[in-house]
Structure formats: C-alpha cells, structure tokens
Structure 1
Amino acid sequence: MKGLQQYFLLAVFSAIGWLSSCQQQQIKKEDVQDEVIYHVFQRSFFDSNNDQHGDLLGLQQKLDYLQELGVTSILLTPLYESVYYHNYYSSDFEKIDSTYGSKDEYLGLVKELHRRGMKLYMDMETQYVTEDHLWYKDSYGNPKSAFSDYLLYDDKAQLKPSSIVFDLYDLKGFDGKRKKITTVNLLNKEVIKYNKELFSYWLDPNKDGNFEDGVDGFRLDHMMDDLDNKGRLTNLFRDFWVPLIDTLKGINPKIHIMAEQADWGSYGIDYLTKAKVDWVFAFRIQQAIRSMDKEKITAYADTTFRDTPKGNNQIVFVENHDIPRFSTAVKQDKGKEKVGASLNLLIGGVPSIYYGQEIGMLGDSFFGKYGGITDANEIPYREAFEWKKDKDSPGMAYWYKNSGPWWDTSTVKSNDGISVEEQESDPNSLLSTYRNLLKLRKAYPVLISGSYQSFTNDNPSIVSFLRDNGKEKAMILINLSPEATTLQIPVDKQQAKLVYGENTGSAKQGKQEINIQGYQTQVWLLK
C-alpha cells in the first residue's frame, strides 16, 4: 500500500512541476480579498426586543460574533412584507416586514456592516405574489385593471390566476392562514421596469452615488429561463434577467449576483454563460459531501470547477434554509461534522455557512408528515439560533413557539453541547474548528484564491486536492473515515510545511511520512 501511495504522489508532484523556494514570489495577504458568506435566517437569529422574532437590530448586535467567526458577508433571506414567516411570496415588495424592524434600522445595519468592511446580500424572489398584493387585488376578476398583464391568468375573466411552482394555487402557512398565490408576468414591459427600479433602490436608496447604504449584491431565488417549465415565460435569461443585471451593474459594477438554479441537479453553468450571473450554488458538491463518498466528492468537484468559466465562481455549502441540517444528516458524528467544515471551507469557490452550522444545530424535514405541502415543513432547520446553554435565555427567537408538532419535537435543548456558550472555550469543538479553518484561510491566501485540482490516491477514504494560485501551492488531505492511515510523499521537510493538522510521521531520506488520523484534515504548504 505504501509503495503505491508513494508512486502516485511522486507522479502528481512531478506533473505539477515543483518550484524552488527562491523562484516563488510571495503573495501579500492584503492583496487577496476573502469572501465567506454567512447565510442567516434572520427571523431565527437573535431577538433584540423580546417579541420572539429575530430582527435587524439583533443581527447588528451580533456582528462581533460573526467577525470573530471569520465571515465577511451576510446573506439575508427576504426582508419584504409577506404573510409567510420566510417572506417568500410577497404581499408588498417595497415594505420591510415590520417584525424585522424599520427601514432606518435596516439602513443602520447596512452602514455598520460597511464600516466594518463587511458586505450584505439580499435574497429576492419577485416571480410570485399573494392575493394581498396590489397587482392581484386590483386585477382579479377585472380585465380592465392596469395590472391585468402584470400577472398570469388562465382565463379571460381573470378569475383563475395561474399556479406557481409545484402547481400550487395557494399555500397554507404554519399559523393556519391559507393564501392564494400566482405568477408574475416577467415579460411584461412594466414589470421589467418595476423590477429594475426595485432592485436599483436597494443598491443606492438615496440615489447619491455613495453605496455605503446599499446592498453589495443579490441572491436570485428559484431562477429559471423557462419559469416553472410551463412554456409561458420563456427566454427569461435573455429578456428579463440580463436586462435587469445590466441595469444593476451599470449602477454599481462591483456588486455580485448569485443565482439559485431551480434544478438542484444542475451545475448552473448556463446561468454564468447566458444570464450574466456571477455566482451559482455548488449543489452537486453539497450533495456529494453529505454522502461522505470520496469518489462522488472528487468527481463532482472536478466537474464543477472545470466547467465554471474564469471570472465566475461557485458558492460551496453544506447547508441552507431548504435542506435538513448537516449534523442531522451525519447523525451528529463529530468527526464527520469537522470533515464537512474542511470541505466547505477549503475545497474552493466562495464558501457559505448557514447560521448554526458552525455549532452543529440539528433539524430534519417534516415533508409528508403533516398535511402535505405547507410552509411549516422546513421549520425544523430554521429554528432559533442557540446562543446559550439555557434554551430559554434572552434573545432566543422562538417565533414558532407552541405552533405545532415542529415545536413539540424541537431539537433546541438546554445543556446538550449545541450552543455558542458551550463551545466557544472548547478548542476541540465544532465552533473552534470553523474559527481555526477561517483563520487558516486568512493566513494563507492560496486557500482563498488558489484554483482547485484533485489528484488521485489509492486510499478509498482520503480526499486529496491541490490549491494553486500560480505563486503558492497547498496540498489538502482529508480523511473521510474514522481509521488512521499512512502516506509517504517524495519530498523532504524543506519542501512541504504542515500548517494545519497533526502529523507524527518523520522525514527520512527525502521522503515525508504522513500519518492521517481518522476524520483528520491536513494542509501542507508546498515550496
């Protein structure tokens, strides 16, 4: 086994062409700007006014925590007004949900983020509206309405609004309220104009050309070229999204547009090449990481990064607001939780951390268990962030308290080890792992800007890849199993420096023995 491992590593390092230390130029850390997104479900994050809803002031009060963690940017779920707790399916795109706070509080948050050198991204989905929206109320049963062509109807009398995704005509909320929902006609010229104005407002609210009060970009939820595959709103990349994005980039060229591709089996490359999107979500990598299958992780990462055009990027994640928690998926296996952190933050792309991921919060899906499709099914992985070991501590955002079985089976418990308070002073905790990995990125720019390149090894449990920015190289080895293993690389200790992880092997006769413990990550800087 060792002979084979030595052979493949020798071949790899010969192929990539090692540079001597005197030939390399060091990259200045300040020249490489890190981007680590913290995807926050703000209603569940921190409650500043004791109404049990997480809010904008609560988020602002926790910026020290986020900066200490090492994140640079915040991605909010929608802020606009909606009857639904998640704020998708809007009743008014121009109003901030009052449970989050006022517009002044929002602007205060944006300015404070920018003062700290952080960024804010806003999630937007303007493809659908509820029956409470002006366009719906005025046009329903009224073909003469000025808003008749703003929405899709299935009849001339406008009494049959068209369904939305999953062929839904309405949706029941966790609180028992049921609202009708319909699709916006994104090809209507006035709707296109409205979207340009709406998005532009959030870029520069006072239109003074100073973007300290504006967002740094948008997440485009459920983006499609043929909306919901109905054949009614087609060529949207060309006719809706590109004109919108061109307008926004014309206002602030520095913004980033990230798109959630509706097909989670897609690599999203057509969004980057046809819709002028900057980033898409690396769903295939996310799915592979959850499998803990080396071959899948390597294959999907290879394809993802190979096909992503230069100048664009993939957002790498293991959790988001639409899927069960990673710690639940790996059954709270502490080793696997840390492997997930390493792959999330070291494999490449723009990493995104979903709030609570860093402390191992739990949550499974309720789909199919309680009355079919409702907006309650995803509450288990949108629960209150666990700040203290006492689950009833001030600031806990229990907006869903006593509302149904998702509350009765809540995974938020006292004294279970899953809280910031219980982990922040423990050097072996998951929170410490995230903090240390993010510090590592800042210390070695190659882990931020370096391209990804896998290399083959004959161990079924070791994921191995290089990061290379043209001036520095790093080798990352991640053990997916609980079993220790040993490798040898054909270099001496002057050519490879261990900068993360532990190695008890010794350098002998120009070869470095590497011992990788179960679920361990090692990062070697190559000279």
Structure 2
Amino acid sequence: MSRFRSFHWLAVLLALGLGCGPLCAARATEAPGAISSQASGVWYEIFVRSWYDSNGDGIGDLNGVTAKLDYLQQLGVSGIWLMPINPSPSVHGYDVTDYNAINPQYGSMQDFDRLLSEAHKRGIQVIIDLVINHTSDRHPWFQAALHPDDPHHDWYTWAGAKTDLHAISAAGGPAWHAVKAQSASIEPAPISPALIEHYLGDFTGAMPDLNYDHPAVRQEMIQVGQFWLRRGVDGFRLDAARHIYDDLRTDSDKPETVRKNVVWWTEFRQGMAAVKPDTYLVGEVAGLSTAQLAPYLQPLGSVFDFPLAEQLIQSARQERGDTLGAMLERTDTAYRQTAEHHVIDGYSGDAPFLSNHDQERVMSQLGGNPQHMRMAAAMLLTLPGRPFIYYGEELGMQGRKPDPNLREPMRWQRAADATGETRWKASTARQGGDVSVEAEQADPDSLWNFYARLIHWRMQISALRDGDLRSYPVDNPCIAAYERADADSRVLVVHNLSNKPQAIPAKAAKVLVTSKPGVALQDGQLTMPPYSSAVLQ
C-alpha cells in the first residue's frame, strides 16, 4: 500500500504548501468519500537510459530507477512505465534481441527484481514496454530465418512473386527490405536477384515484422508476456499495437485489418489473465479519432488517446476551451459503452497524455509558454482514466525532433555534471539549471509543485480519479468546463485558459480546490483569475 494512503489528507496538503482554505471547509461539511486520500491513478513514463545513473558510467540504469522511487512517490504517481529494457543494438531499444533478458547497460535481472520489490512496497505499479510487432534483425530468430529451410523462416513475412516491392508501409516508409538468402548479412547494395528475398519491416529494415499468422509466433509471444508477469510486473505498454496486421498503407483502417488485430490481442489478453487476471494493458494505437481507438479497448482495456493529446495542446495554445468539453464527453461515453458491450475484465478507461518519446515535448509544442504549459497539465490531470506523464514534463523540459532530442537526460541537479546525472547525450534544449528537480522543488511556485498539487487533487477527490465525465455548457470560449461524478461525489471542473479574468454562472455549492488565489463563487457566479483552474462541489 502506498505510504500516501496512510497519511491524513491534511498532512498531504501542508506538505505541498496548499494551505487549508476551501478544501478544509469541504472536509468539515461534506459526506465521507467526497474527500479522501487514495492512489492518484497517474502513470509516469521513464526512459531508463536518461533517468538516473547509479554507477557513474553516464548511462541511466535500473538501480537508478530504484534510487528515485521516493521522488516518484513524492510527486504522487501510482505507476511507472519503463521504455524498453530488453537487450538491443540501438539506444532506443525498440529492436529487441532477447525478450527474456535485461539490457546489460541497464543492469541485471536481480536489479530488476529489486526495483519491482521496492516499487511495490511504495504502492507504485510497474509496466514495461513489450515490443512484439517486430524483432531486431540481429535477433537469433531472424538470423535463423535467413536460411529458407529453417523453421524460423516462417516466423517472418516474405514477399511472393506478385508482391509490390515498392509498397509503402503503414508507418510511411518502404515496407519490403532485401536480404541475401542463406546468409546472416543484410545487403544494402544490389545483388543477384537469384540470391535475395524481401522481408516485411513496417518501420525499418532493422526491425523485421513477425508473422502472427504462424501459431508458434503467437504462442511464443504469450509466453514472453507470462514470463514477465511471473517476475512481478503489473502489465505492459504494447508498442505498435495496431501494426500487428496493419502493415501497409493500404491496410490502414480496413475492417478486416482491425478485426485480425483485435482477435490477436484478445488471445494475448487471455494468455495474460491466466497468470495475472488484473494485468494492466495499454496499447499504442496511433489513431486519429475515437472511432479508430475504441475497437482496441475490447481486448486491451486501455489505449493512449492521441486525438485528445492534440486537442489539449491546441486548447492551451489557443486559449480556447469551447470545443473541448463536448469532445471529452464523446470520448468518455464511447469508451464506457465499449467496455459495457464487451464486458472487459481489464477495462481501465482512457489513457490521456500530452506528449511522449515519439513526439516533441509539450513545452516545446507550446513555444516555451509556462502558462500554457500549466493549463495543459491542469486539463490532463483532471480527466477520466489513467493520465500519463512523460519524464521531465513536470519540470518543463523541452525537446524537438529528431527523436534522440526528445529523450535527453533528466535534470536532477542544477549542475549538469552532478552525481547521478546521465551523460550519454548532450542536451540540445540548453535550458539551464533552473529546469531541474533541485531548483523546482525549492520553489513553491514552480511547475513541479504545480504538477504535484494537481496529482494530489486526484488522490483527495474521488470523482477526479474514478468518475465519468459530462460536458458542462458554458457560453464563454475561454473556459473549459466539465462535470466529474462517481458513486461518492460530483464535482465541476473549470479552467480559465485565457490571460484575462473570466466570470461564468456555476451551479455549485462551494469551491474545493484552486490552482490560484482569487477564485470566488458568489450568488451562483464563478470568478476566475487568468490561467487558473478550480474544482467545485
């Protein structure tokens, strides 16, 4: 059980510098359950290489994650997602060479077991990236598959006589890649047509796609998931979940493609449930609409909400919330209906986020505007489901493409060369020591303290954490408003996204929590200062 659960809610507030204003009054007058202290349901994405270096080699490691679990608990998160920790020839790790092992740069299996144990002692769950759409081209399976008479040859997809070798993959690059038959070497240069085969690789030639029409592949990958569950992980982030069968640009959104994906992930879910019935699965389904995401809820229970991420950042940037409430209600309704119709044991709802390791960091998308950053965070952390934070987001770290710049070292101390700082890559953002844990924890008005305050709202107000969502109509384009309700409480969430004070009618009894002083509710009229958020009973 999380240490936070044993704290009295007032101790949490005082520790965060929130004071005792409206929330104390609410505690005195509201029914039990309206204000509580529970796990926040917030998840945190970690690139281990960039997180914390425990042994001085400049590369983050698993012991470094363990060393900073207290930091994560202090922030208030309930779970962490570790980007790939398997052996891989690349820095990013999304081309795996051994699914049942730990990248030696990150430590040992014993280090991983200790991390799991220490995280669980603190009430922090752990999920790991499971990259099973494709392997590395250096994986022993693929090296064996280069021999046409080896059984592993059929574990991958090979071009036939009528295959369009110039086809574009669903990821946007070449789908087919040449390899010399009966050899272990990939041939970048033209070779004799009689000696080459072409294999499918949605993303790059270094990542050959597995053939999920082969029963042995399906069985093997279920066993991989079960292996990690038995070690104690709580679930998986499923990389490229829509690309198991969505291989070519012409496959995208075809009903048969979606159906085959759902059938596979249903089989996978059943395999995980046989070991751990409450396995948490969250899929990377890079869809552009709720309709594209919803089918994957049936087997997975949760998917990342890419359309919502784009809308949240747009609303913060444009300082307009007039279309957000309706979108949120449509999404929440569609997801809950999907869960009801399919009776998903592992249903966890939406997985909202602002940015991740594949996208420019949200502070960069917002042009470095600190007020827009705060409003994006306030919207994210008052939404249904399980919000995800990308490491360093709570500090306002910036990062623009290419991808390595999005995964730069976490800043712990003001000095970039301090003990524990990773050095595998120089920073391109050059933000200085003020964007660091050391600096921001010492500043009560910092973005870090703002994130911690919002996360603890979810711990204290059950409707923010567990409730459904209903749009709250407001005739003011600068305001985003919605109701959240569960069995114990109903609250109204209001965000003033603009740089001017705003006033709106509000059907509420009292203000529970605010992000800024100056929020006032009088005679049914709510007045809010610029760039502020409030939760009302």
Q: Provide, for residues 176-220 of structure 1, a one-character-per-residue CA deviation record: whole Å limited to 9, x for no partner.
A: xx9633111112111111111111000003xxxxxxxx1101111
* Deviation, structure 1 residue 23: 12
Deviates more, 1:57-66 or 1:44-53: 44-53
Is residue 2:438 matched to residue 1:421?
A: yes
Correspondence for 1:34 among 18, 37, 40: 40
* Deviation, structure 1 residue 506: 6.1
Cα distance in 2 between the residues matched to 1:507 and 1:359: 32
Is residue 2:238 matched to residue 1:220?
A: yes
Residues 490 and 79 of structure 1: is their aligned pair in 2 closer, same or farther, counting only changes over 3 Å? closer
Is residue 2:498 matched to residue 1:474?
A: no
Q: Provide, for residues 213-258 of structure 1, a one-character-per-residue CA deviation record: whole Å limited to 9, x for no partner.
A: x110111111126332466995433542211110111211111111
Match of 2:529 in 1: 517
Is residue 2:52 matched to residue 1:46?
A: yes
Match of 1:146 in 2: 151
Match of 2:424 in 1: 399
Residues 24 and 434 of structure 1: is their aligned pair in 2 closer, same or farther, counting only changes over 3 Å? closer
- Match for 2:361: what amino acid? R
Match of 2:223 in 1: 197
- Match for 1:394: what amino acid? T
Cα distance in 1 between the residues matched to 2:327 and 2:507: 28
C-alpha contact 2:511 2:534 (8 A) present in aligned 1: no
Match of 1:104 in 2: 110
Match of 1:272 in 2: 297
Cα distance in 1 between the residues matched to 2:462 and 2:369: 30
Taking only the aligned residue pairs, the percentage that are identical comes to 25
Cα distance in 1 between the residues matched to 2:500 and 2:238: 42
C-alpha contact 2:395 2:437 (8 A) present in aligned 1: yes
- Local SS of the residue matching 2:303: strand
TM-score (norm 1): 0.82
Residues 469 and 398 of structure 1: is their aligned pair in 2 closer, same or farther, counting only changes over 3 Å? same
C-alpha contact 2:168 2:175 (8 A) present in aligned 1: yes
Cα distance in 1 between the residues matched to 2:358 and 2:392: 14
Residues 502 and 422 of structure 1: is their aligned pair in 2 closer, same or farther, counting only changes over 3 Å? closer
Q: Provide, for residues 375-431 of structure 1, a one-character-per-residue CA deviation record: whole Å limited to 9, x for no partner.
A: xx2111110001111122222222234xxxxx6xx114433x211111102111100
Cα distance in 2 between the residues matched to 1:288 and 1:39: 21
Equivalent residues in 2 for 1:230-269, closer than 5 Å = 234=257, 235-266=259-290, 268-269=293-294
C-alpha contact 1:505 1:513 (8 A) present in aligned 2: no
- Match for 2:238: what amino acid? L
Equivalent residues in 2 for 1:352-431, closer than 5 Å = 352-365=388-401, 377-401=402-426, 410-415=428-433, 417-431=434-448
- Match for 2:497: what amino acid? L
Cα distance in 2 between the residues matched to 1:287 and 1:109: 33
* Deviation, structure 1 residue 501: 3.5
C-alpha contact 1:32 1:449 (8 A) present in aligned 2: no
* Deviation, structure 1 residue 152: 1.0
Cα distance in 1 between the residues matched to 2:122 and 2:515: 31
Is residue 2:332 matched to residue 1:305?
A: yes
- Local SS of the residue matching 2:100: strand
TM-score (norm 2): 0.80
Residues 23 and 43 of structure 1: is their aligned pair in 2 closer, same or farther, counting only changes over 3 Å? closer
* Deviation, structure 1 residue 312: 4.1
Is residue 2:322 matched to residue 1:295?
A: yes
Cα distance in 1 between the residues matched to 2:34 and 2:226: 35
- Match for 1:134: what amino acid? P
Is residue 2:463 matched to residue 1:446?
A: yes
- Match for 1:52: what amino acid? G
Q: CA RMSD in A?
A: 2.9
Gaps of 5+ in 1: 1-20, 172-177, 206-213, 366-376, 402-406
* Deviation, structure 1 residue 61: 0.3
Is residue 2:506 matched to residue 1:500?
A: no
Residues 167 and 263 of structure 1: is their aligned pair in 2 closer, same or farther, counting only changes over 3 Å? farther
Cα distance in 1 between the residues matched to 2:29 and 2:36: 21
Match of 2:12 in 1: none
- Local SS of the residue matching 2:157: coil
* Deviation, structure 1 residue 295: 3.3
Residues 170 and 93 of structure 1: is their aligned pair in 2 closer, same or farther, counting only changes over 3 Å? farther
Gaps of 5+ in 2: 1-26, 179-203, 340-346
Cα distance in 2 between the residues matched to 1:83 and 1:169: 21
Cα distance in 2 between the residues matched to 1:179 and 1:222: 16
Match of 2:4 in 1: none
C-alpha contact 2:464 2:484 (8 A) present in aligned 1: yes
What number of residue pairs does the alignment pair up?
463
* Deviation, structure 1 residue 22: 13
Match of 1:131 in 2: 137
* Deviation, structure 1 residue 520: 0.7
